[in-house]
């Protein structure tokens, strides 16, 4: 019987190796996971350092702005307040409703007074469909014709109706040409 079993010893050895392989694979997988975790931690640390550097730079810029503001003269501060009030008056007016891009342009790109800007805004049409311009009011009152063969006439229901419409159109046009 030992001769018989000796023939299969190599299978037993292979089975033992197979049992050892999952342990090795698990160890490799654990090592890879640990490497991934450490890489992620390093990335987080770098991101935190970058954020800290950015916030430190922003604080430095804010301090520089404050120092500039402290150096600003009272006349400059008063001029800035007047300009802000002028812009607020233009943008907050009733005339600016529906005309925001124009109102912004008048407030920021010109030196118009709020009263002059309101007059310009009142004369301009509102944005969007159905503006209040005279042209749009006139266009709303005009009935638009139906375009295509037959114009406003109903579409023919059969070939005979279509043929009679073509003949009638031909006669109408032929008669108009003879008169001229």
Q: How far is 99 from 126, CA to CA, in rounded Å? A: 5
Residue showing tokens 């520089």: 64
| Token representation of residue 68 | 């500039």
Q: How far is 86 from 130, CA to CA, in rounded Å? A: 30
CB atoms within 10 A of CB 174: 9
Phi and psi dihedrals of 172, rounded to 5? Answer: -65, -45
Give the predicted TM-score (pTM) of the model: 0.36
Measured N-to-C along each axis, helices 114-123 and 100-109 cross at an angle, to the nearest 10 degrees, of 150
What tens-digit pLDDT sequence spans the chain (180 residues)? 566 666 666 666 665 565 656 677 788 888 888 888 888 888 888 888 888 888 778 877 777 766 666 678 899 999 999 999 999 999 999 999 989 999 999 999 999 999 999 999 999 988 764 556 677 778 888 877 776 666 656 666 688 888 888 898 888 888 766 654
Q: Are 165 and 174 in contact (CB under 8 A)?
A: no
């Amino acid at each position: 019987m030992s001769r018989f079993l000796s023939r299969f010893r190599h299978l037993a050895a292979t089975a033992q190796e197979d049992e050892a392989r999952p342990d090795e694979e698990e160890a490799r997988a654990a090592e890879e996971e640990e490497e991934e975790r450490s890489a992620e931690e390093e990335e987080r640390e770098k991101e935190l350092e970058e954020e800290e550097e950015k916030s430190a730079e922003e604080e430095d810029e804010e301090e520089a702005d404050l120092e500039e503001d402290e150096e600003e003269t009272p006349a400059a501060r008063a001029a800035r307040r007047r300009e802000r009030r002028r812009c607020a008056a233009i943008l907050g007016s009733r005339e600016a409703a529906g005309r925001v891009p124009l109102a912004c342009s008048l407030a920021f790109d010109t030196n118009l007074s709020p009263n002059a800007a309101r007059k310009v805004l009142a004369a301009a049409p509102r944005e969007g469909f159905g503006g209040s311009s005279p042209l749009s009011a006139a266009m709303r009152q005009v009935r638009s014709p139906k375009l295509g063969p037959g114009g406003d006439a109903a579409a023919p229901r059969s070939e005979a109706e279509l043929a009679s419409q073509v003949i009638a159109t031909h006669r109408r046009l032929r008669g108009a040409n003879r008169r001229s």
